Amino acid sequence: MSIDSIQDLEVVNSFAQLPPAFYTRLATTPLRRPRLLHANASVAGLLGLSPRALAGQDFLDVCAGSVPLRGGQTLSAVYSGHQFGVWAGQLGDGRAHLLGEVITPQGPMEIQLKGSGRTPYSRMGDGRAVVRSSVREYLASEAMAGLGIPTTRALAIVVGDDPVYRETEERAAVVARVSPSFIRFGSFEHWGGSPQNLRILLDYVIDRFYPECRVQDNPGESALRFLRQVVARSARLVADWQTVGFCHGVMNTDNMSILGLTMDYGPYGFMDGFQINHVCNHTDAQGRYAWNAQPSVVNWNLYRLASCLTVLDIEADALRAELQHYEDDFLAAYRGNLVRKFGWLQWREGDDMLVDDWWRLLHNQQADFTLGFRRLAQALSDPEPWLDLFSDRAAAQAWLAAYAQRLTLENRPDAERIAAMQSANPLYVLRNHLAEQAIQAAHREDSGEIETLLKLLRDPYVEQPGYEDYAQPAPEWACRLEVSCSS
């Protein structure tokens, strides 16, 4: 049965039951004259909220941080982490507040506000988010969900009149985020020198999210099984990122979900023209988080996570043995994704060479990542739309001939293959210029572009008549867009 008020949700506070060292309980800092820019009916439905609930004053009050969630215990969590490969020490929810945990048919879901004011972990920050970054996160999390990639979700975005100073003066906004948990690798790193608290956190995470890993009377084996599952989930996640052309932009250990979710959207980007070493974050001058580096960065982050567990008297060799599964896990997920995207039935010997040639073709000609895959489905019968993506058509035709030869190894009807490829290769992704158009409209408090993009991104594999402009290569002006850690 749908609930007509956010204040009538069944709320628990399991994270708040951890010792006080894990968080600080504090109130949010309300926005000045808050207005609801957009509410996500899809995510609201996951929580059991009716459409009527989204129009209520209490929904705005909670999502703006003006009043607490009834039954919740508002808090901000502490964690640490490595940022750009360097130990940064204590970090934490510098601008986020966990309101509580909602009981749903899919399991408990936490509601967290981002941009809701200063906390003890803000360091030199103001505790705020701006309209620009909030719209980007709101759209990106829903885009990833539409692609079937594990992610946190977005419930609502609220704007206010408070000025916020980044590169220029901007206006404050708050995003209400939803996830089973916001615990991250950095949460474990924070307790790397405290075996007692690390054990408390590990037991909490295993009991709530990895119960199959629990081995009675053998905590060391439980920890190893837990690590094995985190390795597998993280490998699958980054394989998904690679095969949709997604760059996270700031893969610090404090931005890595312990549940294998995409989280903390900032200077991310879906590639337009493909570059194997594409860097979407203007702040990342060294290219640490380039597209082709993402799999190795995840592996590096997993080693940082595993190193914390040595304080629990777990042998380093046993931890390394679990980490060694990463490459196989990644390759299995990566190749599985590519099998579907190329319309094959299975991975065969020699496919690595054809795939390498594919990336080289896209890179050398800066061809559009998304449309390169999407139009390939029909390129054998109608090659012109696909060939139009390449400046060197002869090179593209040569690769297409090799691809056609590869297809002859499998007795698959063309119609079946085309349908399968179209269900694996999105037509719509959240390109930077589309997000920018939604941001500009949001500055006018017009949520029309947000609504349009959500409509397309929730089902990105199905062509929607009348929205052809959203399925085109990026315009020239999009090349001048830059996103950074302040995004």
**Per residue in 370-407, pLDDT tens?**
999 999 999 999 999 999 999 999 999 999 999 999 99
Q: What is the mean pLDDT of residues 186-202?
A: 97
Query: How remote is the C-alpha of 6 from its chain's centroid?
Result: 25
Average pLDDT (324-347) is 98
Lowest mean pLDDT among 65-69, 104-108, 424-428: 104-108
pLDDT for residue 479: 79
| Residues whose CB falls within 8 Å of the CB of residue 39, separated by 6 or more in sequence, listed in order | 54, 59, 63, 155, 156
To the nearest 10°, report the CA torsion of 363, 367, 368, 370: -60
Determine the Cα–Cα distance for residues 311 and 198; give it in Å rounded to an integer: 8
* pLDDT recorded at residue 227: 98
CA-CA-CA-CA torsion sign (130, 133, 136, 140): negative
| Mean pLDDT across 74-103 | 98
pLDDT at 245 over 60: yes
Secondary structure (DSSP) of 377-392: TTTTTS-HHHHTT-S-
Residue 357: in which H helix or E strand, if any?
helix 351-365
Task: Provide the pLDDT for residue 486.
Answer: 61
How would you class 353 by CB atoms within 10 Å of its CB: exposed for 0-12, middle for 13-18, buried for 19 or more? exposed
Question: Which pLDDT value is given to residue 409?
Answer: 97
* Contact call for residues 120 and 76 (beta carbons, < 8 A): yes
Check pLDDT > 90 for residue 1: no
Q: What percent of the chain has pLDDT over 90?
A: 96
Helix, strand, or coil (residue 276): coil
What are the backbone angles phi and psi of residue 283, rounded to the nearest 5°? -75, -25
* pLDDT per position as a tens digit, 99-116: 999 999 999 999 999 999
- Answer whether residue 306 shows pLDDT above 90: yes
Catalytic residue annotation: 254
Question: Residue 258 in contact with residue 188, Cβ under 8 Å?
Answer: yes
Confidence tier at 241 by pLDDT (50, 70, 90) = very high
Helices (H) and strands (E) counted in the chain, each on its own, are 17, 13
The region of weakest confidence among 24-38, 325-339, 467-481 is 467-481
| pLDDT at residue 483, as a whole number | 84
pLDDT of residue 164: 95
- Please report which confidence band the pLDDT of residue 487 belongs to, taking 50, 70 and 90 as the band edges: low
What is the rounded CA–CA span in Å between residue 356 and residue 301? 26
Alpha helices in 22-74 (DSSP H): 41-47, 51-54, 57-64
- Asked whether the beta carbons of 225 and 213 are under 8 A apart, the reply is yes
Decide if pLDDT at 187 tops 80.
Answer: yes
CA distances for 45 relative to 48, 64, 150, angstroms: 5, 19, 18
Q: List b or e across 390-399, with b for residues whose CB sees 16 or more CB atoms inside 10 angstroms.
A: beeeeebeeb
- Residue 470 CB neighbours (<10 A): 19
**Predicted pLDDT of residue 68:** 98
12-35 pLDDT, tens digit per residue, is 999 999 999 999 999 999 999 999
What's the pLDDT score for residue 478?
80
Report pLDDT for 134. Answer: 97
> What does DSSP assign to residue 192?
T
pLDDT range class, residue 303, cuts 50, 70, 90: very high
- What average pLDDT does the chain have? 97
